[in-house]
Structure 1
Amino acid sequence: MSHDDVPATRQTTPVDAIAERWVDTLVELDPLWATWLGRTGRTGEYGDTSPAGQAAYVAAATSTLEELHATAAVDSVDQVTKDDLESSLALDLEYDAQQLHLRDLNVIASPAQGLRDVFDLMPTETEDDWADIASRLGNLPAAIDGYISTLRLGIERGVVPAKRQVSAVAEQCARNAGPEGFFAELVADPAPGSGDELSADLLTRLRTNSAASREAYLGLEAFLRGELLAAAVVDDAVGREAYALHSRRFLGATVDPDETYAWGLDEVARMAAEQEAIAGQIEEGATVARAIELLDADPARQLDGPEALRRWMQALSDRAVAELGATHFDIPESIRTLECMIAPTHDGGIYYTAPSDDFARPGRMWWSVPLGVTRFTTWRETTTVYHEGVPGHHLQLGQAVYNRATLNTYRRSLAGTSGHAEGWALYAERLMDELGYLEDPGDRLGMLDGQRMRAARVVIDIGVHLGKEFPGCASVPAGGLWDYEKAFAYMTDNVNMDESFIRFEVDRYLGWPGQAPSYKVGQRIWEDLRAERARRDGESFDVRRFHSEALALGGVGLDTLRRALLA
Structure 2
Amino acid sequence: MTEAPRSATPIDAIADAWVDTLAERVPTLATYIGRSEHNARYGDYSPAGADALAVEARKTLAALRAEEPVDDIDRVTKADLTRELELDLELHDAQWHLRDLNVIASPPQDIRAVFDLMPTDTADEWSVIATRLGAVPEAVRGYVETLRAGVSAGVVPAQRQVREVVTQIGRYTSDRGFFAEFAAEAAPSDGQLPASLARELSDAAGAARVAYEELADVLAGEVAPVAPEQDGVGRDLYALHSRRFLGATIDLDETYEWGIEELARMVAEQEEIADEILTGASVEEAVAFLEKDAARKLHGTEALQRWMQQTSDHAVAELGETHFDIPEPIRTLECMIAPTKEGGIYYTGPTDDFSRPGRMWWSVPEGVE
> Shared topology, TM-score over 0.5?
yes
**Aligned counterpart, 1:88:** 84
Aligned equivalents of 1:280 and 1:124: distance in 2?
48
Q: Cα 1:286–1:202, aligned 2, differ >3 Å: closer, same or farther?
A: closer
**Aligned counterpart, 1:258:** 253
**Per-residue Cα deviation, 1:146-170 (whole angstroms, up to 9, x for no partner):** 1111111112211122222222212
**Per-residue Cα deviation, 1:122-166 (whole angstroms, up to 9, x for no partner):** 111001110011001111111111111111111221112222222
SS of the equivalent of 1:341 reads strand
Q: Which amino acid aligns with 2:208?
A: S
SS of the equivalent of 1:366 reads strand
**Aligned counterpart, 1:248:** 243
Aligned equivalents of 1:8 and 1:292: distance in 2?
61
- Length-normalised TM-score, structure 2: 0.91
Unaligned runs of 5+ residues in structure 1 are 1-6, 375-567
Q: Report the Cα offset of residue 15 of structure 1.
A: 2.4
Residue 177 (str. 1) matches residue 173 (str. 2): yes
Aligned equivalents of 1:335 and 1:259: distance in 2?
34
**Aligned counterpart, 2:98:** 102
Residue 132 (str. 1) matches residue 112 (str. 2): no
Which residue of 133, 140, 143 corresponds with 1:144? 140
Aligned equivalents of 1:276 and 1:202: distance in 2?
55
Q: Report the Cα offset of residue 347 of structure 1.
A: 1.5
Q: Are the counterparts in 1 of residues 25 and 53 from structure 2 also a CA contact under 8 Å?
A: yes
Q: Which amino acid aligns with 2:93?
A: A
Residue 302 (str. 1) matches residue 272 (str. 2): no
Q: Report the Cα offset of residue 299 of structure 1.
A: 3.5
**Aligned counterpart, 2:211:** 216
Q: RMSD of the alignment, in Å?
A: 2.4
Aligned equivalents of 1:359 and 1:309: distance in 2?
25
Q: Which amino acid aligns with 1:247?
A: S
Aligned equivalents of 2:320 and 2:247: distance in 1?
30
Q: Report the Cα offset of residue 270 of structure 1.
A: 2.3
**Aligned counterpart, 2:117:** 121
Q: Are the counterparts in 1 of residues 298 and 304 from structure 2 also a CA contact under 8 Å?
A: yes
**Per-residue Cα deviation, 1:351-375 (whole angstroms, up to 9, x for no partner):** 111222232222211111122332x
Q: Cα 1:115–1:9, aligned 2, differ >3 Å: closer, same or farther?
A: farther
Q: Which amino acid aligns with 1:146?
A: G
Q: Are the counterparts in 1 of residues 171 and 341 from structure 2 also a CA contact under 8 Å?
A: no
Aligned equivalents of 1:106 and 1:316: distance in 2?
30
**Per-residue Cα deviation, 1:290-324 (whole angstroms, up to 9, x for no partner):** 55455444443322222211101111222233344
Moved more, 280-289 or 224-233: 280-289
Q: Cα 1:281–1:355, aligned 2, differ >3 Å: closer, same or farther?
A: same
Q: Are the counterparts in 1 of residues 99 and 150 from structure 2 also a CA contact under 8 Å?
A: yes
Residue 271 (str. 1) matches residue 266 (str. 2): yes
SS of the equivalent of 1:352 reads strand
**Per-residue Cα deviation, 1:518-557 (whole angstroms, up to 9, x for no partner):** xxxxxxxxxxxxxxxxxxxxxxxxxxxxxxxxxxxxxxxx
Which residue of 230, 233, 237 corresponds with 2:228? 233
Aligned equivalents of 2:145 and 2:214: distance in 1?
12
Q: Which amino acid aligns with 2:212?
A: Y
Aligned residues: 368
Aligned equivalents of 1:8 and 1:191: distance in 2?
48
- Length-normalised TM-score, structure 1: 0.61
Q: Report the Cα offset of residue 85 of structure 1.
A: 1.5
Q: Are the counterparts in 1 of residues 140 and 212 from structure 2 also a CA contact under 8 Å?
A: yes
Aligned equivalents of 1:9 and 1:294: distance in 2?
62
Q: Report the Cα offset of residue 212 of structure 1.
A: 0.9
**Per-residue Cα deviation, 1:166-190 (whole angstroms, up to 9, x for no partner):** 2221222222122111110011131
- The 5 Å alignment of 1:477-488 reads none
Q: Cα 1:72–1:208, aligned 2, differ >3 Å: closer, same or farther?
A: same
